[in-house]
Amino acid sequence: MSSSHLSIFPSHKLSHLSSHSSLSSLSSLLPSPLAPTTYRLSTTIHCGLRDLRDRIDSVKNTQKITEAMKLVAAAKVRRAQEAVVSSRPFSETLVEVLYNINTQLQTDDIDVPLTKVRPVRKLALVVVTGDRGLCGGFNNAVLKKAESRIAEIKALGLNFIVISVGKKGNTYFLRRPYIPVDRFLDLGNLPTTKDAQAIADDVFSLFVSEEVDKVELLYTKFVSLVKSDPVIHTLLPLSPKGEICDINGVCVDAAEDELFRLTTKEGKLTVERETVRTPTPAFSPILQFEQDPVQILDALLPLYLNSQILRALQESLASELAARMSAMSSATDNAIELKKNLSIAYNRQRQAKITGEILEIVAGAEALI
């Protein structure tokens, strides 16, 4: 049987695409986060018609899997965005209450544990990662940011401890025993207030007992379906005004959210962007508090801490799902390209075989004349 000489990228990956291993071949179709996603014809494949048919069937099955995973991630990312937006009115109203209480206490010397600023000797870093893979460089970006921040903390001569949230981060830090980890926490498919409460209780006890003097939260901020940025926010001490600040003390809270809705246009999947600004009721300037404002702060600041952790978990989940949708989209495109090139190789080899058989028949007929 004759062999095919079509060049395709890469031959060692195609050799693993059998009809019984479609799931294991997903990683070969995913673009590497450190390499460009452009596929070029670079090597030569030598195989028969049967092998080519098996490879084509395997790539077709893989394409169906990646397309289904893309659609599932698209549906989930929409729900995750809605969860982020629906939680904003509560956070905004809570900020208004905290701000107005703070304006009444500007002349008073109050002592609220969660807002107490101390000289930093030891720092806690909460790292939020995903529970699953097949989402491009999402988890790698968070872990690289964590390694960079840990290096900065060591350079300052400070002690630190890590609180890992997410199975990927847990696996990463378990393999590095030289990084001190306080707790390993797992998340479910959808972050809940119970998950946020578990993290808040841990950092609250560490900060109030003065085991650590500062708590930072590292998570992935959802920007768009094709972009997400790992960011670090100062979780404790809290700002009395209810602002969210980065490690430099700059307020980074956003007043607007963007929703991305998947629709079909001319038979193709497209994305529509919609900017949503959540309205919040104005805080009455004549409102008076029956209780002591310090007691109200003691009750509201832990609640605000929980809400900020929950929002970070929701944004991290939305970023993970968007990254997975983008990765599955790239894998689907690569599968289509592979199937096209393999089909060309199959047709050329089949045509060459048929042509050879015809020539043999003609030669045999001429020999009988």
Residue with tokens 């031959």, as numbered in its chain = 11
- Annotated catalytic residue, options 47, 135, 245, 251: 135
Nearest to 216 by CA among 350, 126, 122: 126
DSSP 8-state symbol, 114: G
Handedness of CA 167, 169, 172, 174 (dihedral sign): negative
Nearest to 264 by CA among 274, 254, 272: 272
Is-catalytic flag, 251?
A: no
Report helix, strand or coil for 139: helix
Report helix, strand or coil for 151: helix
Residue with tokens 């003609």, as numbered in its chain = 362
Report helix, strand or coil for 244: coil
Q: Which long-range contacts (CB under 8 A, 24 or more apart) does 26-29 make?
A: 26/62, 26/65, 26/66, 26/134, 26/331, 27/134, 29/62, 29/66, 29/330, 29/331, 29/334, 29/335, 29/338
Q: Can you list the alpha helix ranges (DSSP code H) found in 10-137?
A: 11-14, 26-29, 49-104
User: Do 134 and 327 touch, CB atoms closer than 8 A?
Assistant: yes
User: Do 142 and 220 touch, CB atoms closer than 8 A?
Assistant: yes
Q: Which residues contact 259 (CB under 8 A, 6 or more apart)?
A: 78, 81, 82, 85, 273, 274, 275, 276
DSSP 8-state symbol, 295: H
Rounded CA gap, 154 and 151, in Å? Answer: 5
Instruction: Return the active site residues.
Output: 135
